Amino acid sequence: MYMHHHLLLILHLISAAIWVGGHLCLAVGILPGALKKKDYTLITQFEKRYEPIGMSSLVVLVVTGMWMALQFGIGPGRWFSFSNPLERVVSVKIILLLATVLFAISAQTRVIPHLATRPKKLYEMAFHIIGVTTIGVAMLILGSFVRYGGI
């Protein structure tokens, strides 16, 4: 199916705003207060409301991103060859996407279930939040290089 590249890019940018903006709100707006008050519920309350929209935006980012890459001639067969500037952007983005997924799995299985009983887990949660936010900002900066020819 063909979808106009500009439309894919607009959907990609709206989703990037939601994903990166949401994580920046959490990391900069909510996390410092939660650490200060040692109150993990400030984080879990935000996550409960943000998760459906955040996860949907990540799915849209992956679908539109891979679709735009395909329109640039960079399909799965060319990933991870690091042989041309645009393909390098796509390959690094996919590696960072995997890192995001690993952070999410680790938070859901190793950290969040223990926040109520083990206060020290709050610091591990902080590490996960800052990690995913930093990776999100890096993905956004990487994306912006495409219009300058790649990396």
- Tell me which residues touch ligand HEM (CB under 6 A): 5, 9, 12-13, 16, 19-20, 61-62, 65-66, 68-69, 90, 93-94, 97, 136, 139-140, 143-144, 146-147
CB of 37 to ligand HEM, least distance (A): 29
Element (H, E) at 42: helix 41-71
CA distances from 102 to 3, 43, 89, 106, 131 (A): 30, 19, 20, 6, 11
Cβ distance to ligand HEM smaller for residue 25 or 97: 97
Instruction: Please state the closest distance from residue 107 (CB atom) to ligand HEM, in A.
Output: 16
By CB neighbour count within 10 A (0-12 exposed, 13-18 middle, 19+ buried), where does 138 fall? Answer: middle
Shortest Cβ distance from residue 121 to ligand HEM (Å)? 25
